[in-house]
Amino acid sequence: MRIVSTMPISEKYIKPVSEKYDFIEWIIKDNMEEARPWLSKAEIFLTLGFDTLAADIEKAEQLKWIHVLSAGVDQMPFDVIQNKQILLTNTRGIHKIPMSEYVIGVMLDHVKKTLFFHEMQKKKTWERRRDIGELYGKTLVVVGTGSIGKDIAHKGKVFGMHTIGVNTSGSEEEFFDQIYSRKDLNEALSQGDFVVIVVPLTQETQNMIGREQFKAMKENAYFINIARGPVVKEKDLIHALQSKDIGGAALDVFTIEPLSSNSPLWTLENVFITPHVSGVTASYTQRAFELFVKNLEVYIEKKGRYINIVDLERQY
């Protein structure tokens, strides 16, 4: 059994699995270019999800299972995967800790004026401000109530925030004081002091946040996107920020990445930019591999249930 990975994995993680299943041939590479020549005989393929072409899967004659070492599967070649009836799983769920901490961090930076005081420090300027805010009592709207969304709401409630969630059906979820269905999205957005977008990118969610939604938000609303860039109409976001329709934004994802140096987002004073790192942590590889190993045991032993099977029709 050959397992090919396009992400480097430490020998300390592989060794115990190899000792248990000594018939596995591990091909661990640093990227897709290095892994591609080994794919034709691979039975299991570990990928980051953005590096895999339809042609790669077509040529992988023995491939039975693809495990994506991230939550996002929007760039996977679903047609060929479905045609070849390949099992597809991902690492959904392991991102909730770093991504919820990221959201809490940028919200605290915003209300406590952290970036302002850092600039004053660089200038050796002692300038006190009295407009420093709190998270306590603020309303947090989370669009997407999966594991990450729930953990954001959970941490928000620790700070005494009122939590509102938005999901497809409007079904109740833990840690949310209120839930709205997606058809009532604008009503939910209108209440948020902070609005967090954390939905998967699908045909239904692409461009779901545009001018109408920004107009529905409070003028001082702080917008946080940790989902995928194309969920938001970037031109409408830029217009909302330039026109002060909303108070500001923390953006970790963009329509095209890396973000072009010509984008006006770089120079807007009410924007905080990070390069798609909200889910990145030193513990990432360990957590991702542990989840894969649980599924590998199901695959080999042929008993138990897989974690995070991706619905090939819904594409998430």
pLDDT in tens, 90-113: 999 999 999 999 999 999 999 999
* Residue 81 binned pLDDT confidence (cut-offs 50, 70, 90): very high
pTM as predicted: 0.92
**Residue 30: both structure tokens together:** 């640093």
The candidate with the shortest Cα–Cα distance to 77, out of 102, 49, 100, is 49
What lies within 8 Å, CB to CB, of 88 at 6+ separation is 65, 66, 67, 68, 73, 76, 81, 309, 310, 312
Distance from C-alpha of 73 to C-alpha of 12, rounded to nearest angstrom: 27
pLDDT (0 to 100) of residue 2: 98
End-to-end CA, the chain: 27
CA angle, 154 then 157 then 161, to 5° = 135
pLDDT (0 to 100) of residue 224: 99
Q: Count other Cβ atoms within 10 Å, centred on residue 109.
A: 16
What residue has token string 């409070």?
218
Q: What topology does CATH give the domain 2-94+282-301?
A: Rossmann fold (3.40.50)
* Residue 74 binned pLDDT confidence (cut-offs 50, 70, 90): very high
What lies within 8 Å, CB to CB, of 137 at 6+ separation is 160, 161, 162
CA atoms within a 13 Å half-sphere pointing along the CA-CB vector of 11: 0
pLDDT (0 to 100) of residue 229: 98
Q: Rounded mean pLDDT of 71-79?
A: 94
Q: Are 28 and 46 in contact (CB under 8 A)?
A: no
Q: For 252-264, give one letter per residue: b (16+ CB within 10 A) or e.
A: bbbbeeebeeebe
The candidate with the shortest Cα–Cα distance to 150, out of 136, 131, 171, 122, is 171
The candidate with the shortest Cα–Cα distance to 8, out of 258, 242, 301, 284, is 284
Mean pLDDT estimate for the chain: 97
pLDDT (0 to 100) of residue 278: 97
Distance from C-alpha of 260 to C-alpha of 172, rounded to nearest angstrom: 39
Q: Are 160 and 139 in contact (CB under 8 A)?
A: no
Q: Rounded mean pLDDT of 131-158?
A: 98
Tell me the torsion sign for CA atoms 229, 231, 233, 238: negative
CATH 3.40.50.720 in the chain: give the residue spans. 2-94+282-301, 96-273
* Residue 305 binned pLDDT confidence (cut-offs 50, 70, 90): very high
**Three-state secondary structure call for residue 232:** strand
**Three-state secondary structure call for residue 241:** helix
**Residue 273: both structure tokens together:** 């930019």
Q: Rounded mean pLDDT of 174-192?
A: 98
What residue has token string 């640093």?
30
What share of the chain in percent tops pLDDT 90?
Answer: 98
Distance from C-alpha of 230 to C-alpha of 151, rounded to nearest angstrom: 23
Where helices occur in the chain by DSSP H, the ranges are 11-20, 32-35, 54-59, 78-83, 96-111, 114-122, 147-158, 185-189, 211-216, 234-242, 284-301
* Residue 261 binned pLDDT confidence (cut-offs 50, 70, 90): very high
CA angle, 297 then 302 then 303, to 5° = 80
Q: What topology does CATH give the domain 96-273?
A: Rossmann fold (3.40.50)
pLDDT (0 to 100) of residue 226: 98
Hey, which residues are catalytic here? 228, 257, 276
The candidate with the shortest Cα–Cα distance to 84, out of 108, 55, 111, 109, is 55
